[in-house]
Amino acid sequence: MKKILMIACCLVVSISSAQQDIYQKVSAFLKQNDPTLITQSKLMVINFVSPDLKEDKNDHSTLDKTAKVYGNAKLKGGKKGVICIAVVEDAQAEIALNKQGYKNLLVINRSQIDNVDTKGIDNITFNSNGEVVFKNLEQGKIYDAINQLITR
């Protein structure tokens, strides 16, 4: 019984540290490449894009809309709004996504945040402390989920 409990604890710790690693590496990359971008006190929505960009087109539109509408809103876990990020697999996908004209969606090439374990994660939302708020929301549901975090 003790072995099972110990294994379960180790598994939970390793999963949470992997998610924390995503937040830390993406935050560090954003700070390094755009020092004018304010990430403090903001929610961070990260979407891992499939190799076929057409499958995720609705997600990209939803993320862009979310960043536009809630970019500076007072939200639970992000008093100064939200940042939406799409992580793509290669440079061609990065160029293609940037050409689609999403003005509020930040695009990062996966190689720029190397050694991040994203197995089983399609999208993930962190609060300003780096804690997971949402994980693996259905396609197009990010906007509605962020809407529920509005504080008045």
Where are the chain's structural domains? 2-147
What local confidence, expressed as pLDDT, does residue 115 receive? 78
What local confidence, expressed as pLDDT, does residue 89 receive? 85
Distance CA 85, CA 124 (A): 10
93 versus 31: which is more confidently predicted? Answer: 31
Instruction: Give percent above pLDDT 70 in the chain.
Output: 84
87 versus 55: which is more confidently predicted? Answer: 87
- pLDDT interval class at 133 (50, 70, 90): very high
Distance CA 52, CA 23 (A): 24
| Residue of 70, 84, 89, 52 whose CA lies nearest to 150 | 70
| Residue of 139, 141, 128 whose CA lies nearest to 48 | 139
Strands 123-126, 43-48: pairing kind? antiparallel
What local confidence, expressed as pLDDT, does residue 101 receive? 85
Distance CA 130, CA 112 (A): 19
What local confidence, expressed as pLDDT, does residue 14 receive? 45
**Averaged pLDDT, 127-148:** 92
Q: Which CATH class is domain 2-147?
A: alpha beta
What local confidence, expressed as pLDDT, does residue 15 receive? 45
Phi, psi dihedrals of residue 109, rounded to the nearest 5°:
-80, 135
pTM over 0.85: no
Q: What are the tokens at 83?
A: 């940042």
| Residue of 25, 14, 10 whose CA lies nearest to 130 | 25
| Residue of 146, 130, 128 whose CA lies nearest to 41 | 128
**Averaged pLDDT, 117-130:** 90
